[in-house]
Amino acid sequence: MAARGAGAVLARAAVLLGLGLLWAGPAGARVHHLTLKDDVRQKVHLNTFGFFKDGFMKVNVSNLSLKPPVGPDGKESVSVGFSLDRTRNDGFSTYLDEEVDYCILNKEPEKDVSVVILRLDLTTAVVKVRFSAEADSLPKISFVSEENVTALNTKPLKTSEQSSDSGKTPAKTNQNIDREGAKSKPSTTSSQNIKEQEHPIHNDKGTFSFQFFFNISSDNQEGLYSLYFHKCVADNGPANDQQLFSLDIEITEKNPESYLSAGEIPLPKLYISMAIFFFLSGTAWIHILRKRSNDVFKIHWLMAALPFTKSLSLVFHAIDYHYISSQGFPIEGWAVVYYITHLLKGALLFITIALIGTGWAFIKHILSDKDKKIFMIVIPLQVLANVAYIIIESTEEGTTEYGLWKEILFLVDLLCCGAILFPVVWSIRHLQEASATDGKAAINLAKLKLFRHYYVMIVCYIYFTRIIAILIKIAVPFQWKWLYQLLDEMATLVFFVLTGYKFRPASDNPYLQLSQDDEDDLEMEAV
């Protein structure tokens, strides 16, 4: 009854989620469009993308405005702009995250870091681009004007002053910023070489717009690029919370042959390959069930549905990524089907683990009140976790809701993983007590060993997929980020195979022997 009720809940949730996704429209993709209205945040992470050689990014900024507007005397009170940070892996940026009480727009880039600062001077409608002269691994940023495309490396160079009272106009030189050719003349008034470039932007009554792009022209410029928007108020006081900004931005990122990030390009083939493995494992399990039909319980057929559901989810996920790779955004219908199968797979996995852990169909044919409470907690939490994942997948990274749902997903997934261990712990405790009282110590101890092995398997699976694989994702270079998905799917496949092997329908399985003995005891009690 509990399993049937759980299936009904999942079916209703899947239908409602599918309708909601159809109403909400397509998910976000590598062609991004983000609109922020009256936002108060000081730092917005717009996007992160891994680029190979000949990849490019185009950014179209429009409807950028502040509330209240910056007046002629507001030049020193508020600063807005963008920063482009380059790293080799998905770890934290040591430059942008080293402090939280300063504005990066007002700090000169260090000579050994790969960061470009684009600071907007709203009073003169000019964007100032600053970067370290020693950062040869940065691409050249170009701006699109009304007349033509104006590359920054052909504009006059300004060597910025580093003194605290830098109100003087920096001296202009005739050097260019082509870092592949001759080096620019170093500054004689500072300890760092900082290049600064200016470009006018369009100002329509306090609403600003401009476009810029960059191209990865060499191998040493490859990397993981993160684009941030910054809003800084000089006094960091109450006015900091009152200064709102609105922004409409379109970002297009593309590698030479794919709209996917460098670490995601192999994912379509990876998901298809893993879908085949899960399908074959499910087929082998069906063959075992048919061969040992006399020892098969209902839980075995529920276990058979899991690899096929997982395989379908991976197929639709691969199709979703294929369209993103080819055109920059997914096909709405395929995305919805993937989300529904992903929801069913996630809920079915935790239901199966909980049913095996409680001993349903093996030891007892009904669930106790304690077991039912676990299902009443785990199933809604698992549905909520999958909904949170789907919302994150379909939401732009720069929105305020993205961070909220990411935290919800982490918390709910942690609660689900903790709750799913309770049925196994209860079964272990029950077997420990039974082995000393009912006279069947040998069988109970064998079953106790089986449950302990299963408990260790669940803990290792949760620990690896939630912690170890994520640490590997952060540590590996940007082009190897797909290893996280590979390890996660391989760990899931190994967990499925080991679970099926330990609880396979066989006459010599201590789990099933105990079940048969319990049935004999029930018959004797009835007599």
Model confidence pLDDT, tens digit, residues 280-300: 999 999 999 999 888 788 888
Domain membership of residue 388 (yes or no) is yes
- Mean of all residue pLDDT scores within the chain: 76
Mean pLDDT of 140-157: 54
User: Do 378 and 350 have their domain in common?
Assistant: yes
Q: Are 238 and 8 in contact (CB under 8 A)?
A: no
Q: Residue 508: its pLDDT value, please?
A: 62
**Domain termination residue (choose one: 222, 254, 286):** 254
The larger pLDDT score, comparing residue 88 to residue 346, is at: 346
Domain membership of residue 154 (yes or no) is no
Of 338, 340, 360, 342, the C-alpha closest to 351 is 360
Mean pLDDT of 472-486: 89
Q: Residue 520: its pLDDT value, please?
A: 41
**Domain termination residue (choose one: 254, 272, 287):** 254
Record the tokens describing residue 289, joined without a space: 């069930």
With a cut of 80, say whether residue 183 has pLDDT above it: no
Mean pLDDT of 4-17: 44
Q: Residue 32: its pLDDT value, please?
A: 87
Q: Residue 197: its pLDDT value, please?
A: 83
Model confidence pLDDT, tens digit, residues 316-353: 999 999 999 998 888 888 889 999 999 999 889 988 88
**Residue 357: left if φ>0, alpha if ψ -120 to 50, beta else—which one?**
alpha
Mean pLDDT of 203-229: 89
Query: CA-CA distance, 331 to 310, in Å (whole number)?
Result: 21
Query: CA-CA distance, 516 to 265, in Å (whole number)?
Result: 52
Q: Residue 262: its pLDDT value, please?
A: 92
Domain membership of residue 439 (yes or no) is yes
User: Do 244 and 291 have their domain in common?
Assistant: no
Q: Residue 37 belongs to what domain range?
A: 33-146+195-254
Domain membership of residue 8 (yes or no) is no
Highest mean pLDDT pick, 75-89, 97-111, 216-230: 216-230
Q: Are 110 and 191 in contact (CB under 8 A)?
A: no
Domain membership of residue 9 (yes or no) is no
Q: Residue 133: its pLDDT value, please?
A: 60
Domain membership of residue 21 (yes or no) is no
Give how far the C-alpha of residue 200 lies from the chain's centroid of Cα atoms, to the nearest Å: 36
In this structure, is the dihedral angle defined by the CA atoms of residues 218, 220, 226 and 232, taken in order, positive or negative? negative
Q: What is the CATH number of the domain that holds 423?
A: 1.20.1070.10
The larger pLDDT score, comparing residue 166 to residue 213, is at: 213
Cα Rg for the chain, rounded, in angstroms? 29
Q: Residue 317: its pLDDT value, please?
A: 95
User: Do 362 and 244 have their domain in common?
Assistant: no
Mean pLDDT of 467-488: 88
Tokens 């305020």 correspond to what residue? Answer: 400
Domain membership of residue 17 (yes or no) is no
**Domain termination residue (choose one: 208, 230, 254):** 254
User: Do 442 and 475 have their domain in common?
Assistant: yes
Q: Residue 507: its pLDDT value, please?
A: 66
Q: Residue 434: its pLDDT value, please?
A: 72
Domain tally for the chain?
A: 2
User: Do 233 and 349 have their domain in common?
Assistant: no
Question: Percent of the chain scored above 70 by pLDDT?
Answer: 70
Record the tokens describing residue 174, joined without a space: 């005739």
User: Do 514 and 396 have their domain in common?
Assistant: yes
Collapse the DSSP code of 135 into the 3-class scheme (helix H, G, I; strand E, B; otherwise coil) and give the result: coil
Of 384, 373, 367, the C-alpha closest to 422 is 373
Collapse the DSSP code of 434 into the 3-class scheme (helix H, G, I; strand E, B; otherwise coil) and give the result: helix
User: Do 314 and 449 have their domain in common?
Assistant: yes
Model confidence pLDDT, tens digit, residues 402-425: 888 988 988 898 888 888 888 888
- Minimum mean pLDDT among 22-36, 62-76, 150-164, 491-505: which range? 150-164
| Amino acid symbol at 397 | E
512 HSE (CA, 13 A, CB side): 16
Of 361, 460, 351, the C-alpha closest to 416 is 351
User: Do 296 and 442 have their domain in common?
Assistant: yes
Q: Residue 145: its pLDDT value, please?
A: 62
Q: Residue 523: its pLDDT value, please?
A: 38
Domain membership of residue 186 (yes or no) is no
User: Do 342 and 408 have their domain in common?
Assistant: yes
- Minimum mean pLDDT among 86-95, 193-202, 218-227, 383-392: which range? 86-95
Q: Residue 461: its pLDDT value, please?
A: 92
Q: How confident is the model at residue 167 (pLDDT cuts 50, 70, 90)?
A: very low
Burial track 217-247 (b if 16+ CB lie within 10 A, e otherwise)? eeeebbbbbbbbbbbbbeeeeeeeeebbbeb
With a cut of 60, say whether residue 214 has pLDDT above it: yes
User: Do 245 and 103 have their domain in common?
Assistant: yes
Q: Are 523 and 311 in contact (CB under 8 A)?
A: no
User: Do 395 and 246 have their domain in common?
Assistant: no
Record the tokens describing residue 30, joined without a space: 């590598």
The larger pLDDT score, comparing residue 361 to residue 516, is at: 361
User: Do 215 and 353 have their domain in common?
Assistant: no
